[in-house]
A = this chain, B = another copy of it.
Amino acid sequence: MMTYWGGVEAGGTKFVCAVGTGPEDLMAKTSFDTGTPEETLPRVIDFFRSQRRRSGELKAVGVGSFGPVDLRKDSPTFGYITTTPKEDWVNTDFAGAIERGLGVPVNFDTDVNAAALAEHRWGAARELHTFIYLTVGTGIGGGGMINGRPAHGLLHPEMGHILIPHDFTEDPFSGVCPYHGDCLEGLASGPAIRKRWGAGGDELAGDHPAWVLQAKYLALGLVNFICTISPQRIIMGGGVMHRKQLFPMIREKVLASLGGYIKAGEILDDIEGYIVPPLLGDEAGVLGGIALAMQISR
């Protein structure tokens, strides 16, 4: 009988579920809008049940979730979404619901740590022990691995909320983060672009001044992550990063802002290989779920 794993990419606006054994073998995939937990979690369970009927043994399910989430394995609320601004989902036992519904083990992490894990297993972070996966879209989130393990810490990183230099003369926009105003996410997420310029990133021309500012803020964020974590590589995904022109602009500004201080050939001589898009593209998320599942049941 064929053996496979299930992955869930749980986003604030969209869920993606798939079964398979890796990027070359995604046997089925579905996606739907995020509703309430009462609507959404049964859809996840139904998808995996229908796959099971068709295709053999489901060993485990992995979930990469929007957050904040509780990742402390010894916590009574491990696997919960905790204090999210999405009110319906506050204190939702996500991992527990899937585990009870399917009777298989469930692994659980942030959406970005899951995507990072997939890139580590199959994509742009193979062989690395310390790297960052940053997504720039509806929000800005960062995850990755440090010393070969996912970055958790006290709760989990919230890299989008770092504070960066903001020149109000150049850019009087006050930011969209309800908590911090002009943190990185407040200045450079998709909603920040829309609010500042009155149009979404997908509507703005390639030579619009939005992109110079966007590259500047993202580069300032990366400089701080580089100085704090010393990653071997930075992978940048998410909707905003579909504008591939951002990559060379960001790389150039990162080099300029670091000012030659970090003497690593990986940065100074190969910035194109240091700041990269995800090799798995938009499937990094759901493949991350599958990679999480493979970690707990082989």
CB within 8 Å of B: which residues of A?
68, 82-83, 130, 142, 146-147, 149, 151-166, 179-180, 220, 223-225, 227-232, 257-264, 266-267
Chain B residues whose CB sits within 8 angstroms of the CB of A152 once the complex forms? 130, 147, 230
Are B230 and A264 in touch, CB under 8 angstroms? no
A232 vs B71: C-alpha distance when bound (angstroms): 14
Chain copies in complex: 2
Chain B residues whose CB sits within 8 angstroms of the CB of A130 once the complex forms? 152-154
Distance between A218 CB and nearest chain B CB, rounded to angstroms: 13
| A153 and chain B: residue at smallest CB distance | B230
Are A68 and B151 in touch, CB under 8 angstroms? no
| A261 and chain B: residue at smallest CB distance | B179
A237 vs B6: C-alpha distance when bound (angstroms): 47
Known: A165-B163, A257-B180, A262-B158. A151 touches B230 (CB 8 A): yes
A156 vs B130: C-alpha distance when bound (angstroms): 11
Are A225 and B223 in touch, CB under 8 angstroms? no
Additional 10 contacts, C-beta under 8 A, given A147-B151, A154-B231: A83-B263, A146-B146, A154-B232, A154-B264, A157-B229, A158-B227, A159-B227, A164-B165, A179-B259, A180-B261
Known: A146-B153, A154-B231, A232-B154. A68 touches B224 (CB 8 A): no
Distance between A53 CB and nearest chain B CB, rounded to angstroms: 40
Chain B residues whose CB sits within 8 angstroms of the CB of A161 once the complex forms? 227, 261
Chain B residues whose CB sits within 8 angstroms of the CB of A68 once the complex forms? 263
15 pairs, CB–CB < 8 Å, chain A vs chain B: A68-B263, A130-B152, A130-B153, A147-B149, A147-B151, A153-B230, A153-B231, A155-B264, A159-B227, A162-B227, A164-B164, A165-B165, A225-B228, A228-B228, A228-B229
**The one of B155, B160, B227 that contacts A262, using a Cβ cutoff of 8 Å:** B155
A146 vs B160: C-alpha distance when bound (angstroms): 19
Q: Find the residue from A68, A156, A262, A267 having the highest chain B CB count within 10 A.
A: A262
**The one of B153, B166, B260 that contacts A229, using a Cβ cutoff of 8 Å:** B153
A116 vs B169: C-alpha distance when bound (angstroms): 41
A180 vs B224: C-alpha distance when bound (angstroms): 12
Are B227 and A157 in touch, CB under 8 angstroms? yes
Distance between A231 CB and nearest chain B CB, rounded to angstroms: 6
Known: A147-B149, A163-B220, A164-B164. A142 touches B264 (CB 8 A): no
Are B147 and A230 in touch, CB under 8 angstroms? no
Known: A180-B257, A263-B82. A230 touches B162 (CB 8 A): no
Distance between A266 CB and nearest chain B CB, rounded to angstroms: 6
A228 vs B227: C-alpha distance when bound (angstroms): 11
**The one of B155, B179, B228 that contacts A260, using a Cβ cutoff of 8 Å:** B179
Known: A163-B165, A163-B220, A164-B165. A230 touches B155 (CB 8 A): yes
